[in-house]
């Protein structure tokens, strides 16, 4: 009876929604598409799509994709330290309120809420940083409003942390796509491996051998060379160049496709206190 009940159980599902309270964080989530007629700004949505694509490639034992995951993890770690430092500073300022003065947390009367799907654990780490960025903006604006922070200090923090977050979103946009090789190809030094190395450069030895991977890297699904090529050729996001291990431009499946055009720092625009 217990075995029968177990067989009837379906897959686990969870609906996850994210709420943002500031205009700055919401703008970072959306980014700006090329359809605006202005240079594209990669947002968090596009970052999650790119991370998901890189993780799918790494699962096929693509050592170059694995190396990108390592670099993204390092970028996230660097950003986390910066965010923590700025949050600590803002919290210190708010903790210096005189006795008898109580200031409640500032939240939006009409926040932005959206369902999210990250495609992997690195994406969840990025989402947590977006939420902390939203919280930091609220704290800094509140500290400035009640004169616990000068307007100059307030704007310096907001500009600095936004550039950090914008840099994080922009980081994977130069990912050249699926390399078409595995570590077995590198070990055999075959024609596919030599072509990939010529176009993409040498990998660190420990990455090439699989000794160093991101701790959030997906399990590797081993396939035969023929099955691997067929998989790359039939994937919806695959291109002829991708199958032949040539660089291509990652896409997000929307009009916000990545462009090599220079991106504009969103903080060059007005920053309303959202």
* pLDDT score for 260: 32
Using CA atoms, how far apart are residues 158 and 26, in angstroms rounded to an integer?
Answer: 14
3-state class of 17 per DSSP?
Answer: strand
Q: What percent of the chain has pLDDT over 90?
A: 65
The residue with greater pLDDT, 69 or 230, is 69
3-state class of 92 per DSSP?
Answer: helix
Please, are residues 75 and 171 in contact by the beta-carbon 8 Å criterion?
A: yes
Rounded to 10 deg, the angle between the 121-145 and 44-59 helix axes is: 160
Q: How many residues does the chain have?
A: 274
The pairing of strands 17-20 and 112-115 is antiparallel
Torsion of CA 152, 154, 155, 158, to 10 degrees: 160
Please, are residues 194 and 119 in contact by the beta-carbon 8 Å criterion?
A: no
- At 98-107, the pLDDT tens digits run 888 888 888 9
The secondary structure of 247-264 as a DSSP string is ------SSTT----SPPP
Please, are residues 160 and 90 in contact by the beta-carbon 8 Å criterion?
A: no
73 pLDDT higher than 50: yes
80 pLDDT higher than 50: yes
Q: What single-letter DSSP state applies at residue 204?
A: P
169 pLDDT higher than 60: yes
User: Mean per-residue pLDDT for 47-63?
Assistant: 96
- At 128-137, the pLDDT tens digits run 999 999 999 9
Task: Kindly report which listed range (45-59, 92-106, 121-135) carries the lowest average pLDDT score.
Answer: 92-106
- At 220-261, the pLDDT tens digits run 987 655 555 544 444 444 433 333 333 333 333 333 333 333
CB burial of 25-43 (b: ≥16 within 10 Å; e: otherwise) equals: bbbbbebbbeeeeeebbbb
**Binning pLDDT at 50, 70 and 90, where does residue 4 land?**
low
User: Mean per-residue pLDDT for 50-57?
Assistant: 96
How confident is the prediction for the chain on average, in pLDDT? 82
- At 172-217, the pLDDT tens digits run 999 999 999 999 999 999 999 999 999 999 999 999 999 999 999 9
138 pLDDT higher than 70: yes
Helix, strand, coil percentages (3-state) for the chain, rounded to 5, are 55, 5, 40
Helices marked H in the chain — which ranges?
A: 2-7, 23-30, 44-59, 63-95, 121-145, 151-170, 183-188, 191-200, 205-208, 225-234, 240-243
User: Mean per-residue pLDDT for 45-73?
Assistant: 96
Backbone angles phi and psi of 109, in degrees to 5: -75, -15
Please, are residues 73 and 216 in contact by the beta-carbon 8 Å criterion?
A: yes
* pLDDT score for 10: 83
Using CA atoms, how far apart are residues 34 and 43, in angstroms rounded to an integer?
Answer: 12
**Binning pLDDT at 50, 70 and 90, where does residue 171 land?**
very high
- What residue segments make up the domains of the chain, in order of their start? 19-95+114-247
Which value, in Å, is the radius of gyration of the alpha carbons in the chain?
A: 22
**Binning pLDDT at 50, 70 and 90, where does residue 143 land?**
very high
152 pLDDT higher than 70: yes
Please, are residues 186 and 63 in contact by the beta-carbon 8 Å criterion?
A: yes
């Amino acid at each position: 009876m217990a075995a029968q009940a177990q067989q009837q159980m379906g897959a686990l599902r969870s609906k996850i929604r994210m709420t943002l309270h500031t205009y700055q964080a919401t703008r970072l989530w959306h980014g700006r598409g090329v359809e605006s007629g202005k240079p594209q700004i990669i947002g968090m949505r596009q970052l999650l799509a790119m991370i998901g694509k890189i993780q799918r490639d790494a699962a096929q034992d693509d050592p170059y994709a694995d190396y990108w995951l390592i670099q993204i993890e390092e970028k996230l770690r660097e950003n986390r330290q910066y965010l923590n430092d700025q949050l600590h500073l803002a919290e210190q300022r708010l903790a210096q309120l005189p006795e008898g003065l109580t200031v409640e947390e500032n939240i939006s009367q009409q926040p932005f809420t959206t369902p999210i799907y990250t495609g992997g654990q690195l994406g969840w780490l990025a989402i947590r940083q977006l939420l902390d960025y939203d919280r930091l903006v609220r704290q800094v604006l509140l500290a400035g409003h009640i004169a616990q922070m000068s307007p100059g200090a307030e704007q310096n923090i907001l500009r600095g942390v936004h550039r950090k977050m914008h840099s994080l979103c922009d980081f994977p946009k130069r990912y050249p796509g699926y390399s078409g090789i595995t570590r077995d190809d590198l070990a055999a030094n075959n024609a596919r491996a030599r072509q990939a190395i010529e176009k993409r450069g040498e990998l660190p030895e420990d990455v090439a051998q699989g000794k160093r991977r991101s701790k959030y890297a997906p399990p590797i699904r081993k396939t035969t060379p023929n099955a691997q090529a067929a998989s790359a050729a039939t994937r919806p996001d695959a291109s002829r160049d991708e199958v032949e291990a040539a660089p291509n431009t990652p896409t997000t499946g929307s009009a916000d496709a990545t462009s090599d055009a220079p991106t504009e720092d969103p903080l060059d625009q007005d920053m309303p206190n959202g």
